[in-house]
Amino acid sequence: MKRWVVCGLIGLTAACAQKKFEGTAKAKDSALADEANKNPNGSGSGQDPNGDNGIGVGAFSDILDVAELPKNSELRAMPGVPTAGEMGKIEQTLDLSCEQTPEFTATVGPEGFVKVPAQTKALVNIKGRFCPTISSNLTVLFIIDFSGSMGPGDPDPNGNATVPATGNDPRIMVGTQATCGRLLAVEAILNKFAPTDRVNVGVVTFAGGLIESHTAAPQNQATFKSTRLADAARLTNFCSYIAPTKYQTNPAALVLNPPVEGGTNYEAAFQRAAQYLNGLRGRKAVYFITDGRPTGMGDPVASAKLAAAELKKVENLYFNAFFLQNKQAGLPEDTVGLNTLIDIAGSKDRVVKADSAQQLAIEVGKEQTVQIDPASIQATLTINPYKPQEPLKIISFQQDPNNSKAWVFETQGFALDGLDQEAVTHLIEVSAVTLDKTKLSSKVKLVYDKNP
């Protein structure tokens, strides 16, 4: 029996949309599969699902039909419940790109986006890609430390200074332009994106608490650049700090009339980040830049860990932390602070140490990788009124040998159960967890009319 790859909604071409299945096992021609194989974003890898690459093998050897499960036998005997078609059989692999995998909806049936003849027994399986580091359909959120230790301060003549005269990220000259490590890092990230990339950008600034005047919710990248990175505003927006004492060598770098003290309140910053990112569609990338240990009332480290854990409950989030130390100025290395940040981040591969402003920009600009726990992947299928969610087997899960940013999963085949005159929604949910406990998810909805 021939198996076909179904074209995705993103990048759909007229030729792809017009392909129709004929009979029970034949298609008009092989252009449907060829169209998917040409998708540069990964929709269709060009590999034979029946080949020896480990992907797709056995997808239809173990079919899940929720209506046929023994626990649903009494319900199935009642009129008006979804059942599979009985006129022949078609097997189809829905092959989703990196862009499509997080959330995808398609109609299936004689008049659907995916053409299946009336009353045909349609067997489907899902092949998707978790790609947490790609730039399409992305929200970037910078969380930036404005604590007093970031900027320079004059020693207190009374001997009461609490920070060195040279901070960890003072304003410096690069060529003829004033800048700092935090600003260089923001520019390095944003320079990766083309103007046409669907990227939104926001920023959370903090010291002893949030600094609302320098904080902005995610917005279109063009708007963010034209406002936050404008020549007249860039230094103020990213190279400022809150004075720990009244003795300062660069008053122009101070936040005027600061609403908070010059501490390092991780908890407040993570809470605002979660507020901004919860409920947003697509992928999210957080870049957290700090130079110190968390401070605050009670146990600030424990509070920071709890807030970080809540932030990482945001699905499809990519968390990066950077620990900036001004080693060139002779400041002592804060190994305790670095290890504390690693503990809060949940994994040492999510934290990078930088010894200067220039090194921070280099490290931020590097391609980051995410490791996923293969044992964590799971999938479910929900078809009302059959309840609850039914486990759906994952027959393959591996890093894509052709794309280091992608992890490819494939589910077992399952029957589409439908009604004669009513659409039935099939919800397929797949999730996995990275080593730092961030959840990646995919929600696929197949709306099936077996005989409209």
Which pLDDT score is estimated for 349?
87
Where do the CATH 3.40.50.410 domains begin and end in the chain? 138-365
Give yes or no for a cis peptide into 385 (omega within 30° of 0).
yes
Q: Which of 164, 102, 104 is nearest to 134 (CA)?
A: 102
On the question of pLDDT at 1 being above 80, the answer is: no
Chain mean pLDDT for the chain: 82
* CATH architecture, domain 138-365: 3-Layer(aba) Sandwich (3.40)
Better-predicted residue by pLDDT, 310 or 55: 310
Which pLDDT score is estimated for 148?
85
For 190-218, what is each residue's pLDDT tens digit? 999 999 888 999 999 999 999 999 999 99
| HEC assignment per residue over the chain | CCEEEECCCCCCCHHHHHCCEECCCEECCCHHHHHHHCCCCCCCCCCCCCCCCCCCCCCCCCCECHHHCHHHHHHHCCCCCCECCCCCEEEEEEECCCCCCCEEEEEEECCCCEECCCCCEEEEEEEEEECCCCCCCEEEEEEEECCHHHCCCCCCCCCCCCCCCCCCCCCEEECCEEECHHHHHHHHHHCCCCCCCCEEEEEEEECCCECHHHCEEEEEHHHHHHHHCCCCCHHHHHCCECCCCCCCCCHHHECCCCCCCCCCCHHHHHHHHHHHHCCCCCEEEEEEEECCCCCCCCCHHHHHHHHHHHHCCCCCEEEEEEEECCHHHCCCCCHHHHHHHHHHHCCHHHEEEECCHHHHHHHHHCCCCCCECHHHCEEEEEECCEEEEEEECEEEEEECCCCCCCEEEEECCEECCECCCCCEEEEEEEEEEECCCCEEEEEEEEEECCCC
Which pLDDT score is estimated for 285?
94
Two tokens, residue 408: 């490819």
Residue with tokens 């908070």: 260
Better-predicted residue by pLDDT, 36 or 295: 295
Two tokens, residue 14: 């007229």
For 301-358, what is each residue's pLDDT tens digit? 999 999 999 999 999 999 999 999 988 777 778 999 999 999 999 989 899 999 999 9
Two tokens, residue 409: 């999963």
182 neighbors 204 (Cβ within 8 angstroms): no
Q: Which of 218, 238, 220 is nearest to 228 (CA)?
A: 238
Two tokens, residue 439: 């959840």
For 124-171, what is each residue's pLDDT tens digit? 999 999 998 877 789 999 999 999 888 875 554 554 444 445 789 988
Q: What's the Cα-to-Cα distance from 316 to each of 88, 113, 163, 393, 417, rounded to whole Å? A: 39, 27, 38, 21, 30
241 neighbors 151 (Cβ within 8 angstroms): yes
Two tokens, residue 238: 């990213």
d(CA 255, CA 238): 11
144 neighbors 205 (Cβ within 8 angstroms): yes
Least confident of 107-116, 132-141, 174-183, 416-425: 132-141
Which pLDDT score is estimated for 328?
77
Q: Which of 176, 198, 205, 174 is nearest to 188 (CA)?
A: 174
The residue-averaged pLDDT of 93-101 equals 92
Query: Percent of the chain at pLDDT above 90?
Result: 57
**90: pLDDT confidence band, cut at 50, 70 and 90?**
very high
Strand partners, 5: 93
350 neighbors 320 (Cβ within 8 angstroms): yes
> Amino acid identity, residue 379?
A
d(CA 226, CA 425): 43
